[in-house]
Amino acid sequence: MGFWDTITDLVDAATPWATADAEAPAKELPEETTTEATKEEESTEAETAAAEEEPAAEEEPAAEEEEEEEEEEEEEPVDPKETLEEECRNSKQCSPAKHHFDECVERVTNAEAEGGAKEDCVEEFFHLAHCATQCAAPKLWSVLK
């Protein structure tokens, strides 16, 4: 892989008329007699793919690495949405909503124990969920692929 190949690959990746093929790239060279040209073409393709992926990976290296390490430790992946939203629910931003919800749950469970509650906590739940998802949304998208 020469220096000029790298340059042409970058140009190829950036040019708008570069095409994506529906065919899978040929896996193996069929024969030994294949010309130099095909070999070069293939390495070009591979390099283009790599070049395209690089900028995406650079965006959040820290977060991704942490995620991957976690995944290696345990088999079952942990949903970042749950943890992020839990953090958000307990954050200062959502404390009024959480306060109202907790209070409602306590009131309703007490009323139910005494035989029949006249209300539910759906609305309070909505406000809390709205706050938590809103707060977690950008963080979640930076973690997900």
Partner 1 sequence: MLARSCLRSTRAFASLRNGAVHVSKRAASSSSSGSAADSPLRLNIAAAAATAVAAGSVAWYYHLYGPTADASTPAEEGLHPTKYPWVHEQWFKTFDHQALRRGFQVYREVCASCHSLSRVPYRSLVGSVLTVDEAKAMAEENEYDTEPNDQGDIEKRPGKLSDYLPAPYQNDEAARFANNGALPPDLSLIVKARHGGCDYIFSLLTGYPEEPPAGAQVGAGLNFNPYFPGTGIAMARVLYDGLVDYEDGTPATTSQMAKDVTEFLNWAAEPEMDDRKRMGMKVLAVTTVMFAMSVWIKRYKWAWLKSRKIVYDPPKTNNTPPRR
Evaluate the CA torsion angle 90, 94, 99, 105 in order and state its sign. negative
Toward partner 1, which CB reaches closer, 62 or 122? 122
Nearest alpha carbon to residue 5 among 46, 33, 35: 46
To the nearest whole angstrom, how small is the minimum distance from the Cβ of residue 78 to partner 1? 7
To the nearest whole angstrom, how small is the minimum distance from the Cβ of residue 36 to partner 1? 26
How far, in Å, CA of 49 to CA of 51, rounded? 5
Residues that bind partner 1 (CB under 8 A): 20, 22-24, 67, 71, 75-81, 101, 104-105, 108-109, 112, 117, 119-126, 129-130, 133-134, 137-138, 140-141, 144-145
Toward partner 1, which CB reaches closer, 2 or 77? 77
How far, in Å, CA of 48 to CA of 37, rounded? 16
Toward partner 1, which CB reaches closer, 2 or 116? 116
Look at the chain and count its residues.
145
Toward partner 1, which CB reaches closer, 1 or 46? 46
To the nearest whole angstrom, how small is the minimum distance from the Cβ of residue 132 to partner 1? 9
To the nearest whole angstrom, how small is the minimum distance from the Cβ of residue 114 to partner 1? 13
> In sequence order, which residues have a C-beta less than 8 Å from that of residue 42 and are 6 or more positions away?
25, 26, 29
To the nearest whole angstrom, how small is the minimum distance from the Cβ of residue 106 to partner 1? 9
How far, in Å, CA of 83 to CA of 96, rounded? 20
Residue 45, helix vs strand vs coil: helix
Amino acid 9 reads D
